[in-house]
């Protein structure tokens, strides 16, 4: 484990150089890893583990996702099983169902968590809010986490490109004395670029805040506010979308990602630089109270409870699809669909 300086703060980080794939395989050579769930994280993590040479099986209910697993090469009765049988066969159970499904399926999982096994999460939700989820693991197993900082689709895509997606890791319970090595080996196995230390609580607080904030919720609200302002002042949809979304995602974000915000600023016009530096303060002051309120709602469990209550409703999927339809069919994103067809790579 290396200590890295992040803006003056020292953090524990594990890289693939100090914990190579060969070491990870050696640590887990006698383990059977069962990936439970084949939805968001399941495919990417299980396929990466399989391609990296680990003994991995998938546990999934029969239906569309079962068929998807079969299409991905998992063989019923050999590497693909019903959830209970997969858990029985496993020494490490990767619990990668959605938060709501984890609550529902937990009574079926718990009997197979026998002494010495490991229970693995990719999100701190179930354990942090255990009074609400009622997911309380036995004391004689390891409880660990690898949380890739992106979707399972991104994890798989970057793996196939020979790259890695950074992940956080945490150990909630070390019953065997092997939890650290098991955790890091799994992190390397699923395709992490590097691993940084956290706790279950910090992971879920930052994750829920990020999803509702700059990663998804805030960015849509910010983009829509600017798009609407331009449209209300007479700008056409194409111009409003290009200035709001297309230039951000296709031109500026790659610069931002490459070397940071200052470098992106340095590679823009002096007019853009001056305006950005002058206006970042007012935007910060306007949204900081919203982020403080958001973090408080996450910290006290209100966001978790809303998620549990909503996702457990029988018509949740229908309501979600309707909300997504409205978003998809809004003028801004209808304009975006047209703009994407005009990109050079599509012509």
Task: State the Cα–Cα distance between residues 144 and 200, nearest whole angstrom.
Answer: 9
Length of the chain as a residue count: 347
Residues 6+ apart with CB under 8 A from 38: 46, 58, 60, 65, 66, 68, 69
Task: State the Cα–Cα distance between residues 236 and 10, nearest whole angstrom.
Answer: 49
Task: State the Cα–Cα distance between residues 49 and 30, nearest whole angstrom.
Answer: 14
SS3 14: strand
Whether 284 is catalytic: no
Tell me: is residue 236 an annotated ligand-binding position: no
Task: State the Cα–Cα distance between residues 256 and 244, nearest whole angstrom.
Answer: 16
Tell me: is residue 269 an annotated ligand-binding position: yes
SS3 139: coil
Enter the DSSP assignment of 199: -
Tell me: is residue 211 an annotated ligand-binding position: yes
Closest CA to 143 of 123, 172, 168: 172
Instruction: Say if residues 170 and 195 touch (Cβ distance below 8 Å).
Output: no
- Active-site residue (options: 123, 233, 235, 296): 123
Q: Report the run of H or E that residue 165 belongs to, with start and end.
A: strand 165-173
* Residues making up the binding site for substrate: 269
Binding positions:
207, 211, 243, 247, 269
Residues that constitute the known binding site for Mg(2+): 207, 211, 243, 247
Residues taking part in catalysis: 123
């Amino acid at each position: 484990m290396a200590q890295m300086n992040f803006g003056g703060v020292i953090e524990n980080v594990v890289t693939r150089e100090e914990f190579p794939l060969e070491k990870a395989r050696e640590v887990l050579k006698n383990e059977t890893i069962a990936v439970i769930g084949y939805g968001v994280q399941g495919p990417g993590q299980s396929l990466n583990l399989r391609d990296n040479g680990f003994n991995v099986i998938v546990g999934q209910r029969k239906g569309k996702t079962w068929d998807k697993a079969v299409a991905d090469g998992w063989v019923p009765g050999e590497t693909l099983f019903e959830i209970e049988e997969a858990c029985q066969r496993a020494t490490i159970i990767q619990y990668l169902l959605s938060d709501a499904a984890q609550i529902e399926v937990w009574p079926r999982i718990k009997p197979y968590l026998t002494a010495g096994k490991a229970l693995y999460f990719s999100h701190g939700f179930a354990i942090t809010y255990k009074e609400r989820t009622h997911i309380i693991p036995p004391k004689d197993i390891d409880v660990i986490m690898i949380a890739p900082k992106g979707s399972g689709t991104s994890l798989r895509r970057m793996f196939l490109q020979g790259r890695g997606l950074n992940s956080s890791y945490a150990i909630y319970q070390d019953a065997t004395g092997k939890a650290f090595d098991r955790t890091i080996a799994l992190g390397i196995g699923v395709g992490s670029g590097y691993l940084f230390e956290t706790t279950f609580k910090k992971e879920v607080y930052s994750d829920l805040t990020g999803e509702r904030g700059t990663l998804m919720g805030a960015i849509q609200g910010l983009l829509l506010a600017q798009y609407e302002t331009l449209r209300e002042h007479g700008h056409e949809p194409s111009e409003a979308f290009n200035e709001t979304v297309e230039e951000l995602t296709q031109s500026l974000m790659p610069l931002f990602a490459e070397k940071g915000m200052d470098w992106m600023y340095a590679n823009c016009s002096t007019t853009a630089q001056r305006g950005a530096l002058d206006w970042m303060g007012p935007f910060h002051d306007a949204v900081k109270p919203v982020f403080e309120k958001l973090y408080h709602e996450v910290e006290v469990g209100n966001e978790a409870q809303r998620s549990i209550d909503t996702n457990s409703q029988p018509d949740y999927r229908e309501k979600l699809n309707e909300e997504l339809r409205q978003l998809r069919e809004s003028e801004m994103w209808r304009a975006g669909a047209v703009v994407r067809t005009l990109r050079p790579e599509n012509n």
